[in-house]
Amino acid sequence: MIQTAIRTSNRRSIYKLEKEESIPDGMCIDTEGKLWVACYDGGRVIRLDPETGKRLQTVKLPVDKTTSCCFGGKDYSEMYVTSASDGMDKEWLSRQPQAGGIFKTMSSSIKIESVVKEKNRMGECPVWEERESALIYVDINSQKVCRWSSLTNEVQSVSVDARVGSVALRQCGGYIIALGTRFAFLDWDTKAVTTILELEQDKPNNRFNDGKADPKGRFFAGTMAEETAPGVRARRQGALYTLFPNHSVIKQLDQVDISNGLDWSLDHRTFFHIDSLAYAVHAFSYDVHTGKIACPRLLYHLEKEEQMPDGMCIDAEGKLWVACIDGGRVIRIDPETGKRIQTVRLPTPRITSCCFGGKDYSEMYVTSAYDGLDETTLAKEPHAGEIFKITGLGVKGIPQNFYAA
């Protein structure tokens, strides 16, 4: 437990460490008044807000016995973290050869602000549209495709006739969307929706969920079964499809529960996919020439406090960012090691998806939802359903792919 001394005889509790964080050790403060605490045997430093008592950020280190931290460097933008090797047996030391070393991390001053105050029942699938300096996204349960202009701060929307799970940019302008159980084009100016083809007509309770264009201009999107009652859903009814630019389609995966976040490695050799009810991120081999995926393997299984994985994106360093619905956070995962390396908390629990955007793709946009929260919880969560911009992550994203037709 971390405590602050108001007077020598009066102190109050700020933050009680979670089990995985282990024992608090050394600590320092940054220029925003936030505390950084080294977690001995936790292999991390955590950033805390003394005013709210909330953890804002987690930075993982390559050793367990993290002992203390301080800021330094020319402009004090670097954090130095000490560690220990005492208390580790030979096997443990062989797995952590850097134990006892001192590490330098670039301190990023993370800022989170709500940029779209208009509430979304189920905001999802954010896509940065560079040509419009805008964020395109969907509100699934309101059956709307929305566009927020970063220049005017205005939100426009187009209503459609079914729940819309995903949207992607078209090379020729406009958008491709997955709504109900069909693929369609959306002309923003005329609001016209033109169906390309319909799937799963034998599954009236299914709908499309998350989707994204691949590096060669194909559109990947998956389906899921809707709930028939709160918490009641037919299992393994979904699938993952690929729509080619010539409008042909193939089924990539079957017996999926909730097909969700997806992206591709920077070398275009790996496809990443989330089936939410598996509480995991899986990696597949990916043939960029054919669009086919194969050889699934578990990449990361979410911890209990992270709750359920939802949308996902990749950054310019090849690391994955996963939105944790009901976990109130996005987590950064290293696909090479399968380890979580960073956690960023958001001010509302139902965090649904994320993407990079802005002029140089240094901003992260995060969608959220208010559907699924009861009245009591909603009263305590005034930001539920809003869209957030995170700056200061210290990493950039990459431009979105276009559907090639």
Q: List active site positions.
A: 310
The answer to whether 258 touches 276, Cβ cutoff 8 Å, is: yes
Asked whether residue 260 is marked as a ligand-binding residue, the answer is: yes
Residue 323 burial by Cβ neighbours in a 10 Å radius (0-12, 13-18, 19+): buried
Structure tokens at 68: 């203390």
Question: Which tokens belong to 286?
Answer: 């990916």
The answer to whether 165 touches 221, Cβ cutoff 8 Å, is yes
322/329 Cα distance (integer angstroms): 8
The answer to the question of whether 287 is labelled as a binding residue is no
Alpha-carbon gap, residue 106 to 130, rounded angstroms: 28
Residue 120 amino acid letter: N
- Show the tokens assigned to 96: 């952590």
Q: Does the annotation list 246 as a binding residue?
A: no
Can you spell out the DSSP letters for 261-318? EEEE-TTS-EEEEEEGGGTEEEEEEE-TTT--EEEEEEEEE--GGG-EEEEEEEBTTS
Q: What residues contact 72, with CB distance under 8 A and at least 6 apart?
A: 78, 79, 80
141 is in an annotated binding site: no
Phi-psi region of 294 (alpha: psi -120 to 50; beta: other; left: phi over 0): beta
387 in Cβ contact with 122 (< 8 Å): no
Q: Alpha-carbon torsion 230, 232, 237, 240, what sign?
A: positive
Question: Is 118 labelled a binding residue?
Answer: no
Q: Is 310 annotated as a binding residue?
A: yes
Q: Token pair of 294, please?
A: 């194969």
Only one residue has tokens 């220029």, namely 31
Q: Which residues fall in the annotated binding site for substrate? A: 207, 209, 227
Q: Which residues fall in the annotated binding site? A: 124, 207, 209, 227, 260, 310
Q: Which residues fall in the annotated binding site for a divalent metal cation? A: 124, 260, 310
